[in-house]
Structure 1
């Protein structure tokens, strides 16, 4: 896989040209898990700013997943029999995982962001192993995904999932545990070694102490015990006082606003625009600085920053398209959205399980630093796993209803598919729809054309009857589209978004 250097020199000035198909697809692949042919076609010709505002407003107004009946269950609410209790927990978890995965497919920017934040403000379900803790953690991610980052940081640190994951539940006043204090600065807000000292971590841990009440039934939400809080004077980021949890958040955002803004805007840039934010060939640093200024001036509200970025010439520049390697979830969910075939919850579960096999397990990032993304998604085993699983997925759709492949081809090609007797002319728009920038060169297109023609070559060139073939009428046309998609799924360009 070629390593893309970030040569994007465009600015944060608004992108004013009507969206073409390439840029409409780019927008939906980055702000969600792609979109159907109809949705992309509707976006073509629209103003980018108008469409971005609609997607951001949708995310802002979207309610979180409703609370399941077990949201506040403790161990006492489960059967006394351990096997029965574990079976019930597993059923609850599986249903919630499915509900969230369907949200990722359908909720565009809101759950694209909530999933992003789960890889930034990380917890691992395997560590705390409690469904009620998982629900409230995801609820926090969804409510704050495009809200106020300061509020977000404050709330996430008091979720039971985070308190268990980073040992806050063991942070007693006279014996502070420094784990969360360290990650609060190093991974969540400032970046490693940026604007804080080891002494700041020690003092912050004392201020965060006291959230240690865990109940007697297990899976009980953690609460604060003032008797277990350190009441000594503490000096944090230059400020001295008898600080507690809220004081830490206030001091952090008051004393280090620019450092926080730079760190978070860089993470957003690398996720949504280009994984390389420090290459001198482009002006990524200028873009990130502009985003950071917007972030601070809007009191750490995320929506203004994202509106600015997503509407920009920089975001829609050719150098920003097709330069991010799809994560496993991108790989499967983007394909599922783009083919637009009828699918079931079983299909979604399969995609979730396939992603786990490729090292992206929902609710379980690899460690506190999260998945490192991009090139880590591709190695010999993973790429073969992508090929085999996507082929299995497409084969299942073909066996269920092969005519949906013709329908897909016609939706993409429009009048060309209805009237053209040239398979090469018909296959070109299908290729370009699924690949962010098409194939590398004409030689690669010719290889793909050969795959698409392979089932009609014997008759297409025999006896001068070329005009008898069309995508709309040829009996084996669905199989041609199927073969082409199988071929494309193995191409390097298909792994990119």
Structure 2
């Protein structure tokens, strides 16, 4: 697959014009998992300012997922029989994965961000293996996804999932464990080797000691024990005192605000705009610096900096479209959202399973650094897996209700779908709706047109049309749309967003 150099030179100033269909689709693919024809049509013609404000306000006002009945369970709530307990835990995890995946489908920016943060503040369910901790962790991600980053850092570090995952529960005053202190700086706030020393890590680990009371039943809330806290003086970023957990957060954000802002804004830029933020061909560094200034000026509130980015000329530049490789969840959820085909919890559970097979298992990134995204999603095995599973997905939709394929085509093509006798006229807007920038050239369009016509006797299409054919009336038209979508799902352009 072609590697996209970041040549985007557009500024951070707000995009002033009305958004066209392609730009609205770009916005929804990046801020969520795409959107239906109706949603895209409703956004087309709006300004970036108005549409982004709506999406951000929706995200801010969304309540987290309701707590499941097992949200506060410890090991005493499970059967004494180990096999029965294991089965019940697995059923609860399946239930929560399904609830969260449906939230990804339905809640656009809020859960696009909560999913992003799960790959920043990484934990792995297999390590702590406690469903109550999984709920608490997810709840923290959703509540803080678009809130204050300083508050977010403070809260996530005291979730039970994080305390177990990065060994905070073993961080005693007489024997400090440096694991969380190291990742707090290297992965969560500053970046590798940026603005801290090994001595800062050692001293920070001492300040974070004491959260070691794990209870006797297992899967209980970790408590702070002042007797297990290092009460001596520590020097962190040049500041000396008897520091504890809250002091570490305060010192970090007071002494290293610019480094934090640069690091986090770069990650946001690479996730939402372009994976290459360091190429000299564009002005990514200027954009990131502008975002960082906004971030610091807003006291680390996330909404202002994201609003600035999503409204910018830079975000809507043609060089920002179709340059990010879809994650497995993007591959499946995008087609579900864009076609608006009917689906059930069974469908969503299948997507969760397929995504796991393609290396993106929900709540279980590969390691503490998370999925590296983009080109790591693509290799020979994964590509074949994408093709075969997408064919299965589309086939299941077709078997469930083939007429919804005709409806989808008609929603896109409007009056042409009702009256045009030329299948190529119908196929082109479907192609352009599904792919972020269409196909590479006209010869590629001709191949796609041939796929759309492939189930019909070619004599019907001599000269490119036949007056007996329309998308609205031809009996085999739903299958033609199915064939076209299947063909498109195997194209390089489909792998991009």
Shorter chain as normaliser: what TM range? Answer: over 0.9
Cα-to-partner distance string for 1:296-347 (whole Å, 9 max, x where unaligned): 0000000000000000000000000000000000111111111111100000
* Paired position in structure 1 for 2:182: 182
* Paired position in structure 1 for 2:441: 441
Structure 1 pair 112–464 and aligned structure 2 pair: CA distance change class (3 A)? closer
2:122 touches 2:370 (CA, 8 Å); kept in 1?
Answer: yes
* Paired position in structure 1 for 2:331: 331
Provide the C-alpha distance between the structure 2 equivalents of 1:105 and 1:404, rounded to a whole number of angstroms: 19
Quote the offset at 1:234 in angstroms: 0.2
Unaligned runs of 5+ in 2: none
Provide the C-alpha distance between the structure 2 equivalents of 1:439 and 1:171, rounded to a whole number of angstroms: 55
* Paired position in structure 2 for 1:103: 103
Quote the offset at 1:86 in angstroms: 1.4
SS at match of 2:430: helix
Cα-to-partner distance string for 1:394-450 (whole Å, 9 max, x where unaligned): 011111111110000000111111111011111000000000000000010000011
Quote the offset at 1:459 in angstroms: 4.0
Q: Which moved more, 1:62-71 or 1:109-118?
A: 62-71
Provide the C-alpha distance between the structure 2 equivalents of 1:222 and 1:22, rounded to a whole number of angstroms: 49
- Whether 1:74 and 2:94 are equivalent positions in the alignment is no
* Paired position in structure 2 for 1:473: 473
SS at match of 2:467: helix
2:309 touches 2:315 (CA, 8 Å); kept in 1?
Answer: yes
Unaligned runs of 5+ in 1: none
Provide the C-alpha distance between the structure 2 equivalents of 1:111 and 1:463, rounded to a whole number of angstroms: 48
Provide the C-alpha distance between the structure 2 equivalents of 1:219 and 1:166, rounded to a whole number of angstroms: 16
* Paired position in structure 2 for 1:242: 242
Q: Which moved more, 1:197-206 or 1:80-89?
A: 80-89
Cα-to-partner distance string for 1:471-491 (whole Å, 9 max, x where unaligned): 001111111100000000000
* Paired position in structure 2 for 1:391: 391
Superposed counterparts of 1:5-404, under 5 Å: 5-404=5-404
Q: Which moved more, 1:450-459 or 1:401-410?
A: 450-459
* Paired position in structure 1 for 2:484: 484
Quote the offset at 1:465 in angstroms: 7.8
Quote the offset at 1:48 in angstroms: 1.1
Provide the C-alpha distance between the structure 2 equivalents of 1:464 and 1:318, rounded to a whole number of angstroms: 31
Cα-to-partner distance string for 1:257-308 (whole Å, 9 max, x where unaligned): 0000000000000000000000000000000000000000000000000000
2:207 touches 2:234 (CA, 8 Å); kept in 1?
Answer: yes
2:423 touches 2:465 (CA, 8 Å); kept in 1?
Answer: no
Provide the C-alpha distance between the structure 2 equivalents of 1:78 and 1:141, rounded to a whole number of angstroms: 26
Structure 1 pair 463–51 and aligned structure 2 pair: CA distance change class (3 A)? closer
Provide the C-alpha distance between the structure 2 equivalents of 1:237 and 1:461, rounded to a whole number of angstroms: 74
SS at match of 1:46: coil
SS at match of 1:466: coil
SS at match of 2:67: coil
Provide the C-alpha distance between the structure 2 equivalents of 1:287 and 1:113, rounded to a whole number of angstroms: 20
SS at match of 2:92: helix
Quote the offset at 1:17 in angstroms: 1.4
Provide the C-alpha distance between the structure 2 equivalents of 1:301 and 1:378, rounded to a whole number of angstroms: 34
Provide the C-alpha distance between the structure 2 equivalents of 1:260 and 1:462, rounded to a whole number of angstroms: 63
SS at match of 1:468: coil
Quote the offset at 1:66 in angstroms: 0.9
Quote the offset at 1:18 in angstroms: 1.0
* Paired position in structure 2 for 1:495: 495
Provide the C-alpha distance between the structure 1 equivalents of 2:287 and 2:462, rounded to a whole number of angstroms: 57
Cα-to-partner distance string for 1:109-135 (whole Å, 9 max, x where unaligned): 000000000000000000000000000
SS at match of 2:485: helix
SS at match of 2:470: coil
Provide the C-alpha distance between the structure 2 equivalents of 1:335 and 1:183, rounded to a whole number of angstroms: 36
Provide the C-alpha distance between the structure 2 equivalents of 1:54 and 1:376, rounded to a whole number of angstroms: 33
2:424 touches 2:464 (CA, 8 Å); kept in 1?
Answer: no
Quote the offset at 1:466 in angstroms: 1.0
Quote the offset at 1:457 in angstroms: 3.9
Quote the offset at 1:463 in angstroms: 11
* Paired position in structure 1 for 2:451: 451
2:34 touches 2:337 (CA, 8 Å); kept in 1?
Answer: yes
SS at match of 2:235: strand
Provide the C-alpha distance between the structure 1 equivalents of 2:107 and 2:24, rounded to a whole number of angstroms: 17
2:452 touches 2:481 (CA, 8 Å); kept in 1?
Answer: yes
2:398 touches 2:482 (CA, 8 Å); kept in 1?
Answer: yes
Q: Which moved more, 1:231-240 or 1:397-406?
A: 397-406
RMSD, aligned α-carbons: 1.0
Structure 1 pair 465–379 and aligned structure 2 pair: CA distance change class (3 A)? closer
2:258 touches 2:292 (CA, 8 Å); kept in 1?
Answer: yes
Structure 1 pair 463–207 and aligned structure 2 pair: CA distance change class (3 A)? closer
Q: Which runs of 4+ in 1 moved over 6 A?
A: 462-465
SS at match of 1:235: strand
Q: Which moved more, 1:142-151 or 1:80-89?
A: 80-89
